[in-house]
Structure 1
């Protein structure tokens, strides 16, 4: 009987002192990789791509662009809809859009903020100024 108690005590002690299993390397690598990725839909100003923007083209034309969370946009000039389509923020420095017009191709603008001025340059080299309209 003493031997059984001794064996039981020994087994209990060894169970308590069992070394902890090493963490799975893959499990710890995945969250780190997720935090290293750039957040989706961040505009050049560091805020969400979604919102209302006043875009002034190089020739002075003003377009109000409503960029919606569902991936669509609506452009208005003087309160009238002039274009609708889909948008994609590939990175904070590249905003792309495709008009709903039949046969339209995707167009992208290279965006940056320098000295507090947000600009978007299209493939032709034309520069527009962008201002976020806070509600």
Structure 2
């Protein structure tokens, strides 16, 4: 950036430098901030989670900022798909080749939360693994 500024200054030698256009503060203030999807614990939804299912099996989920996710279960089964949230207490995911499922998430005081599948009623315990 400094080299570009220097080059522009050299081109204007002998001439009066033009003033930069004024920034309209009202327009800048109205620009929406980039929205960050939040997880049930109030932190960004992206990250790594350990999900313990009712049968005791554990799934490690890796949630990416681009809306994709991958997972591996304790028995070595792997999968991938997409995710979205409808606010910090609703998690929706679509495994490859499957229909979307959504869960309501209830957070305990310890930062661990229970995820309740809206269709089946199945529950899972979710812990952020990368905190």
TM-score normalized by structure 2?
Answer: 0.68
How many Å separate the matches in 1 of 2:121 and 2:56? 15
Do the aligned partners of residues 81 and 69 (structure 1) sit closer, same or farther apart at CA in structure 2, a change above 3 Å counting? farther
Q: Which has the larger radius of gyration?
A: 1
Structure 1 residue runs without a partner (length 5+): 1-25
How many Å separate the matches in 2 of 1:81 and 1:125? 23
Q: CA RMSD in A?
A: 2.6
Deviates more, 1:80-89 or 1:119-128: 80-89
1:21 aligned residue: none
Structure 1 runs of 4+ with >3 Å offset: 78-81
1:2-46 superposed Cα distances (whole Å, 9 cap, x missing partner): xxxxxxxxxxxxxxxxxxxxxxxx97x957xx58xxx53100000
Q: Is the contact made by 2:57 and 2:74 (CA closer than 8 Å) also made in structure 1? A: no
Structure 2 residue runs without a partner (length 5+): 1-25
Q: 1:107 aligns with which of 101, 107, 128?
A: 101
How many residues of Structure 1 are paired with residues of Structure 2 in the alignment?
106
The alpha carbon displacement at 1:99 in A equals: 1.0
1:68 aligned residue: 64
Q: Report SS of the residue matched to 2:36.
A: coil
The alpha carbon displacement at 1:82 in A equals: 2.1
Q: 2:114 aligns with which of 105, 114, 119?
A: 119
Do the aligned partners of residues 118 and 58 (structure 1) sit closer, same or farther apart at CA in structure 2, a change above 3 Å counting? same
Q: Report SS of the residue matched to 1:91.
A: coil
How many Å separate the matches in 2 of 1:80 and 1:57? 15
Q: Report SS of the residue matched to 1:43.
A: coil
